[in-house]
């Protein structure tokens, strides 16, 4: 006997039963998608899929490209039970943390508020997972693509179910922090304020004045005392354990959304290996940053850590420690507005055969992030993360941009290769508050020496673009901890993904990737990779725009 599921497919009752909640103590977010294929199997505990990764190896012989197609079989196994998940934010009382908390509470309690434009209902617009869709196939009756929310492809945490907490150097209660941020409409603040007050105040955080701007000192009234970095590490680890125990969590994602730090120096014998870094923490070495301490604490507790700011939190010792303990990390720097657009427009120009000669970006904002970035060392961290976003697109087109020439004099233009002039400016303008202004000019060479200039002006509440990214990164990170894989041709056991979660790249300006692999900044490629991976985990091929049925008899 069979039944009809929500997609109109006939599905055996045993498969339908397997998508129902089976664990009374776990938060379940089951997927409504059931794939009927020899490639996909379901149990109460897992979705297991077979997938063939297809590519090509290229050898260049006397100017000729010899291409050999490749095919490697994999199996993916996704645990279906979504554990109760907490989100612990460093910088919880800042603009992003307070805005995220308030908007989750507004959604959770269905708070409706009035604006000057009318009545507003809570939503998750701006979230890739909650507000965008993916095609899973074609309706045979109409020939039209069938789209589902990205969050329906695999079981995922719902934002409303996240347990919120974290640390901040400011001890302001969360309702006060929301008021201080001046991001949300007042009628929403008024209604959500009692729920925010119930969250209490952030836990004391780590404050090393050398790493953030001096103008932040006045906010630092909620800090872990002393200068012993080993003691600080143990304090943070105990905070994580206590938070999980208090709320009965199966998973806690640790997320840096605090002030941008200056770059840490990479010093041999200090932070270049896992053992050296742990020793440097014991010695309270001056070059161990707060964000690196939080990352190490999360790794040692076996919880994922995501860096939403541009500093080099993940020094080599952190990456090695994550590899050793198979603990997940991701970063760096939230990609919300100007940089996301830049990754799209630069790709469009280069793929169209147009040569960008210069990209000039100017920003001004008046929130505390802008205040901190008004200091030169912190600005340099942001400048680095913003400046590398077009590199892979430039490197992909040797017709437009001459690559580095072997044997050219060191430091010469030929040795460096061609690259557009790329300038980034950020100015602190208190009057505009969280409403960030971004101005970009793209100056390009076109046909036969012609020139083209594209100017773009963007204005938005910075925190309302950033907070959905925190949700997506948290939810995807939790999901990726439940996915294991194996090489089907080798018959080995399933094992976790590589600790550096490069699949998070769509939401990040300076994506952290496995050492020795190329960084991909193209927004389209990042989105396609994530979509293809999620579909591979249920045994579906990645999307194809070939539309062959429309092009043949």
Token readout for 368 is 């505390």
Q: Are strands 451-461 and 483-487 parallel, antiparallel or unpaired?
A: unpaired
Nearest alpha carbon to residue 129 among 146, 98, 112, 154: 154
Hey, which CATH number is domain 85-131+155-334+465-519, 3.40.50.720, 3.10.105.10, 3.40.50.620, 3.30.390.50? 3.40.50.720
For the cut 70, the answer to whether the pLDDT of residue 183 exceeds it is: yes
Residues in contact with 126: Cβ distance below 8 Å, sequence separation at least 6, in sequence order = 464, 465, 467, 468, 469
pTM of the full structure: 0.89
For 388-432, write each residue's pLDDT tens digit.
778 888 888 999 999 888 888 887 777 788 889 988 888 889 998
The angle formed by the CA atoms of residues 103, 89 and 233, to the nearest 5 degrees, is 170
CB atoms closer than 10 angstroms to residue 62: 5
Higher pLDDT, 158 or 432: 158
pLDDT of residue 381: 64
Assign 33 to helix, strand or coil. Answer: coil
Higher pLDDT, 236 or 27: 236
Averaged confidence pLDDT in the chain: 89
pLDDT of residue 356: 94
Pick the catalytic residue from 239, 333, 440, 472. 333
pLDDT of residue 404: 86
pLDDT of residue 2: 35
pLDDT of residue 441: 94
| β-bridge partners, 251 | 85
Active site residue 144: no
Side-chain-facing half-sphere of 75: CA atoms under 13 Å: 18
Active site residue 342: no
Active site residue 382: yes
For the cut 50, the answer to whether the pLDDT of residue 166 exceeds it is: yes
Same fold, 85-131+155-334+465-519 and 338-460: no
pLDDT of residue 506: 93
pLDDT of residue 16: 34
For the cut 50, the answer to whether the pLDDT of residue 202 exceeds it is: yes
Distance CA 168, CA 201 (A): 9
For the cut 80, the answer to whether the pLDDT of residue 65 exceeds it is: yes
Pick the catalytic residue from 229, 342, 436, 535. 436
Average pLDDT over residues 278-307: 97
Distance CA 203, CA 547 (A): 54
Confidence at 366, pLDDT banded by 50, 70, 90: confident
Average pLDDT over residues 139-146: 90
For the cut 90, the answer to whether the pLDDT of residue 274 exceeds it is: yes
For the cut 70, the answer to whether the pLDDT of residue 17 exceeds it is: no
Nearest alpha carbon to residue 428 among 381, 487, 472, 373: 373
pLDDT of residue 28: 43
For the cut 80, the answer to whether the pLDDT of residue 23 exceeds it is: no
For the cut 50, the answer to whether the pLDDT of residue 24 exceeds it is: no
Lowest mean pLDDT among 209-218, 369-378, 418-427: 369-378
pLDDT of residue 6: 35
Pick the catalytic residue from 84, 342, 509, 535. 509
Pick the catalytic residue from 81, 382, 386, 535. 382
Active site residue 333: yes
pLDDT of residue 424: 87
Higher pLDDT, 391 or 529: 529
Q: Cα dihedral sign for 141, 144, 147, 153? A: positive
Lowest mean pLDDT among 58-62, 354-358, 400-404: 400-404
CATH topology of domain 338-460: Dihydrodipicolinate Reductase; domain 2 (3.30.360)
Confidence at 15, pLDDT banded by 50, 70, 90: very low
Nearest alpha carbon to residue 445 among 423, 418, 465, 467: 418
Distance CA 405, CA 336 (A): 35
Every domain of the chain and the residues it spans? 2-80, 85-131+155-334+465-519, 338-460
pLDDT of residue 338: 77
Residues in contact with 222: Cβ distance below 8 Å, sequence separation at least 6, in sequence order = 168, 169, 170, 171, 201, 202, 204, 205
Average pLDDT over residues 61-88: 96
For 491-521, write each residue's pLDDT tens digit.
789 999 999 999 999 999 888 898 888 888 8
């Amino acid at each position: 006997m069979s039944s009809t599921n929500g997609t109109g497919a006939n599905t055996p009752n045993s498969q339908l039963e397997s998508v129902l909640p089976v664990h009374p103590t776990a938060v379940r977010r089951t997927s409504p998608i059931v794939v009927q294929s020899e490639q996909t199997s379901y149990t109460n505990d897992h979705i297991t899929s077979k997938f063939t990764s297809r590519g090509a190896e290229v050898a260049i012989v006397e100017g000729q490209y010899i291409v050999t197609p490749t095919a490697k079989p994999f199996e993916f196994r996704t645990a279906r039970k979504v554990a109760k998940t907490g989100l612990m934010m460093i910088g919880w009382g800042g603009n992003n943390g307070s805005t995220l908390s308030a908007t989750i509470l507004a959604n959770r309690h269905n708070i409706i508020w009035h604006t000057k434009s009318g009545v507003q209902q809570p939503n998750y617009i701006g979230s890739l997972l909650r507000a965008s869709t993916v095609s899973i196939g074609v309706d045979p009756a109409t020939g039209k693509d069938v789209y589902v929310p990205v969050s329906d492809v695999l079981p995922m945490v719902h934002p409303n179910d996240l347990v919120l907490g974290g640390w901040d150097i400011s001890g302001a209660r969360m309702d006060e922090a929301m008021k201080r941020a001046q991001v949300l409409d007042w009628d929403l603040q008024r209604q959500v304020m009692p729920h925010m007050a119930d969250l209490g105040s952030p836990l004391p955080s780590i404050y090393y004045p050398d790493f953030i701007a001096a103008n932040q000192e006045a906010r630092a009234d909620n800090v872990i005392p002393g200068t012993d970095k080993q003691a600080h590490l143990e304090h943070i680890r105990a905070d994580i354990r206590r938070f999980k125990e208090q709320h009965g969590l199966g998973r806690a994602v640790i997320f840096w959304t605090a002030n941008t730090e200056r770059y840490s120096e990479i010093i041999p014998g200090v932070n270049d290996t896992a053992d050296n870094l742990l020793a440097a923490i014991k010695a309270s070495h001056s070059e161990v940053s707060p964000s690196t301490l939080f990352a190490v604490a999360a790794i040692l507790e076996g919880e994922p850590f995501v860096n939403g700011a541009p500093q080099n939190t993940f020094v080599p010792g952190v990456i090695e420690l994550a590899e050793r303990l198979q603990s997940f990390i991701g970063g760096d720097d939230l990609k919300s507005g100007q940089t996301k657009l830049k990754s799209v427009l630069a790709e469009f120009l280069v793929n169209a055969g147009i040569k960008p000669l210069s990209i000039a970006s100017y920003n001004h904002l008046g929130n505390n992030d802008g205040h901190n970035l008004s200091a030169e060392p912190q600005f340099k961290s942001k400048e680095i993360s913003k400046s590398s976003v077009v590199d892979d697109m430039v490197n992909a087109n040797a017709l437009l941009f001459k690559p580095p020439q072997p044997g050219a004099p060191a430091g010469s233009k030929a040795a460096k290769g061609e690259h557009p002039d790329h300038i980034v400016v950020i100015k602190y303008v208190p009057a505009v508050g969280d409403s960030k202004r971004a101005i970009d000019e793209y100056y390009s060479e076109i046909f036969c020496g012609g020139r083209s200039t594209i100017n773009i002006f963007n204005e938005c509440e910075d925190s309302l673009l950033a907070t959905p990214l925190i949700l997506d990164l948290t939810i995807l990170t939790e999901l990726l901890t439940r996915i294991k894989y194996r090489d089907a041709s080798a018959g080995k056991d399933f094992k976790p993904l590589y600790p550096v979660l490069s699949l998070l790249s769509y939401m990040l300006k300076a994506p952290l990737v496995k050492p020795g692999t190329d960084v991909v900044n193209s927004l389209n490629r990042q989105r396609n990779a994530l979509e293809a991976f999620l579909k591979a985990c249920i045994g579906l091929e990645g999307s194809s725009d070939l539309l062959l049925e429309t092009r043949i008899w």
